Amino acid sequence: MTFPRSATIAEFRSRAFIAIEDVRLQTALEGATGNFRAAHDRALGALPHSDELRDHLKEIRSSTLAQLADHLETFESNAQAAGAQVHWARDSQEANDIIVAVAKEHGVKMVTKTKSMATEEIHLNQALQQADIQPVETDLGEWIIQLAEEPPYHIIAPAIHKTRGQVAELFTQVSGREQSSSDIPRLTAEARRMLREKFLASGLGITGANIGVAESGSIVLVTNEGNAEMVTSLPPVHVVVMGIEKIAPTWDDAAAWLALLARSATGQPLSIYTTAITGPARPGESDGPQELHIVLVDNQRSTYLGTTYEEVLQCIRCGSCLNICPVYREAGGHAYGSPYSGPIGAVISPLLFGLERYEALPHASSLCGACLDVCPVRIDLPRMLLQLRADEVEIGMGPRALKLGESAAAYVLGRRRLMGLTTAAMRLFQRPLVREGQLHPPARLNPLGRRQPPALAKKSFHDIWQEGIED
């Protein structure tokens, strides 16, 4: 199976249909997203003043973006003062070139990585492989999908769609030893054994950054497996890849961010490991890298500052909007053709990678508003989905049939007599399809059998109004 990095209408539809017809996948998705939702609700419910905290975080994210350049410069100078080397990357190519150059300078042949959406976004693994450098993912879910040669299925749970059996099969192939799907502790022990060898042999560790704290030039990493501690302390060189929007001006701001991040993502008050790193190892310290490089990636982000889309840069990548979204829960992560899936992916993928390439995603939403309700930063994703749809119309995109239909509707709606004749004809044609006041279109037009719009009323509002006047 190939995974194109795009989502045309046809691609999204066909990938979504494959997911919808896969009963095992649907059960796994509903179970996992349902568990995340329940844990999220319990955690937020138990947090005093959670609504006020969400408002506070929104204010922090919004005011930070309003002066992002200043905060980034503060972050850069404090990180350099702590001994880090800071690099600026305009796009994926520049970011990958910087990282490959650092690896080559140190003669590195193999790197270990933590889960990082920023590195997925820039396709770092492919760039490393092209430079004959082997990337090894060390987050268990990320490693599983690396072995399966698939993109992540979910922002925080990349292998959410894999069964125990599939994982055992992958581990059998890699280890050369038969693995049993019924023995989960043995499977995880096998993963630990295989990955530990990689940690020890790695010449360079690569992580993302959940937060960059400007006032100290530190980065904060949030994980549950402890792999980030190995990746950042065993190899002699550590490279951080961070989107430029992930800045908190102060530690107080970072604390508000952390108070909501794990609760929104997994329902934990804090993830098991929350690690702050400021500069490389100091003289006399036995752990930690001798060199720390921080790559600040723009990749189109700065073009949205001050625009109607700036709000999307407030995202803290908690994944809550995926878990609540009825479209994501049915269509699955791979339908989006992007490292970012679900409602946040439907907005950010067209913005970062091109509306033409991701034309289907603004429409992959029922606009129910659940993503806005659940988002810890109250990002108005439905508003931006509508804006993207408007942008598509503005630049003449969209399905030809839809455009023809809209033109025909505009023509009819503008002519009273023609409108009356058309609705009379439609009332006639709909008769065989009406049951209990609802239309049941043929299966070809309604393949999932889920759309039963109301039938046309016997009399239009206009007719009733006219009759009322005449009475």
Question: Which spans of this chain sit near ligand SF4 (rule: CB under 6 A)?
Answer: 315-321, 344, 374-377, 379
Which residues fall within 8 angstroms of residue 72, CB to CB, at 6 or more apart? 214, 244, 247, 296
Contact between residue 99 and residue 127 where contact means Cβ atoms under 8 Å apart = yes
How far apart CA 319 and CA 270 sit, in angstroms, is 15
Residue whose CB is less far from ligand SF4, 191 or 385: 385
Residue whose CB is less far from ligand SF4, 319 or 350: 319
Considering the complex, what minimum distance in angstroms separates the CB of residue 58 from ligand SF4? 10
Q: How many helices (H) and strands (E) does the chain have?
A: 20, 12
How far apart CA 242 and CA 219 sit, in angstroms, is 9
The residue written with tokens 């190995």 in the block is 230
Considering the complex, what minimum distance in angstroms separates the CB of residue 316 from ligand SF4? 5
Considering the complex, what minimum distance in angstroms separates the CB of residue 247 from ligand SF4? 15
CA-to-CA dists, residue 108 to 102, 135, 209, 269, 290, angstroms: 9, 11, 22, 38, 14
How far apart CA 358 and CA 356 sit, in angstroms, is 6
Q: Residues 5, 380, 310, 297: is their CA dihedral positive or negative?
A: negative
Backbone angles phi, psi at 87, to 5 degrees: -120, 145
Considering the complex, what minimum distance in angstroms separates the CB of residue 377 from ligand SF4? 5
Classify residue 361 as left (phi > 0), alpha (psi -120 to 50) or beta. Answer: alpha
List the beta strands (DSSP E) in 186-251: 204-207, 211-213, 218-223, 237-243, 247-248
Considering the complex, what minimum distance in angstroms separates the CB of residue 245 from ligand SF4? 11
Which residues is 207 bridged to in the sheet?
A: 240
Residue whose CB is less far from ligand SF4, 156 or 195: 156
* H or E element, residue 215: none
Residue whose CB is less far from ligand SF4, 102 or 377: 377
Contact between residue 202 and residue 110 where contact means Cβ atoms under 8 Å apart = yes
Structure tokens at 331: 């269509």
Considering the complex, what minimum distance in angstroms separates the CB of residue 346 from ligand SF4? 10
Helix (H, G, I), strand (E, B) or coil at 204: strand
Residue whose CB is less far from ligand SF4, 159 or 377: 377
Residue whose CB is less far from ligand SF4, 160 or 377: 377
Considering the complex, what minimum distance in angstroms separates the CB of residue 442 from ligand SF4? 37
Considering the complex, what minimum distance in angstroms separates the CB of residue 157 from ligand SF4? 12
What Rg value do the Cα atoms of the chain yield, rounded? 25
Considering the complex, what minimum distance in angstroms separates the CB of residue 59 from ligand SF4? 15
How many of the other CB atoms lie within 10 Å of CB of 448?
Answer: 11
How far apart CA 127 and CA 96 sit, in angstroms, is 6
Residue whose CB is less far from ligand SF4, 45 or 437: 45
Residue whose CB is less far from ligand SF4, 124 or 379: 379
Residue whose CB is less far from ligand SF4, 231 or 261: 261
Residue whose CB is less far from ligand SF4, 7 or 133: 7
Considering the complex, what minimum distance in angstroms separates the CB of residue 210 from ligand SF4? 12
